[in-house]
Amino acid sequence: MSILINENTKVLVQGITGRDGSFHAASMLDYGTKVVGGVTPGKGGQKVGDLPVFNSVKDALSEKEMNCSIIYVPARFASAAIKEAADNKIPLIVCITEGVPINEMLYNYYYVKDKGVRLIGPNCPGLISPGKSKAGIMPAKIHLPGNIGVISRSGTLTYEFVYNLTINKMGQSTCVGIGGDAVVGTGYIELLEMFEKDPDTNAIVLIGEIGGEEEEKAAEYIKANVKKPVVSFISGRSAPADKKMGHAGAIISQGRGTASAKIEALNKAGIPVADCPSQIPKLITEKSGVS
């Protein structure tokens, strides 16, 4: 099994006629993802490759079945795209777009929950269940089917860790990039719960970074609720204390959200923290015997 997406996932691409939308739609198709079409207002009736383009999600649903929508639109249109997918009850919405204003995301967060659907992102690389399906921009060739779940706030770091898992023949069940913004649709705790329930996930890698308190909260949740082995990494250890670093998610306030605070919380929960990506396979083996 896997979480969130599998070989039966049917994907709609919002913003399919744009540069990124068309490129990644083709990449997902090449991987074997069941991409059913795309949406660009005003361009209904056109095609991108062999994929039909619709004017709206509603129009697409009138002709195609789908259970996932992935959003590649400019930031100023992202909230409207999220709401359109949610209004049409698409169960899984993945927003790749970077730069969605935080006040809009606060509204979007509760909007999608009220509609009973799930949002991954924004500002994320999406997710992949290796050998089954990918919805996003993750480089498929570095992934290997297996039993390790990966959750990460960082896109590029995700690839580093997956590569180190794969070269050590440690395949992945599902890899999820939750996004690095201060407000995202789905966080660590929800995904930890899913991986804990997934019979084909034997261990979990949690990749965090400075800013916010999500890793500290995840550590508390793991200690109380997760029986599967969890190993971790926190980036930003060398960030100067008096500097503002990175994106909106990397905000440190009153001593909380620092790398040291996160590492301390994880260690107290019995979760080993790697110093670099190459240490993760060894930590997994030591923690669980998974190889």
Q: Give the residues across from 120 on adjacent strands.
A: 94
Question: Nearest to residue 91, comparing CAs of 201, 10, 150, 192?
Answer: 10
Helix or strand holding residue 206 (H, E): strand 203-209
Which residues, at least 6 apart from 82, have a Cβ–Cβ distance to it below 8 Å? 71, 93, 95, 108, 111, 112, 119, 122
Asked whether the beta carbons of 91 and 118 are under 8 A apart, the reply is: yes
**Dist CA 71 CA 21 (whole Å):** 8
Asked whether the beta carbons of 201 and 231 are under 8 A apart, the reply is: no
Residue 122: cis peptide before it, omega within 30 degrees of 0: yes
Asked whether the beta carbons of 257 and 190 are under 8 A apart, the reply is: no
Question: Nearest to residue 268, comparing CAs of 216, 229, 225?
Answer: 216
> What angle separates helix 280-288 from helix 155-167, to the nearest 10 degrees?
60
Catalytic residue among 223, 247, 282, 287: 247
Question: Which residue in this structure is represented by tokens 């990918």?
Answer: 134
- Is 143 catalytic? The answer is no
CA angle 170, 172, 173 (to 5 degrees): 140
**Looking at the annotation, which residues are catalytic?**
247
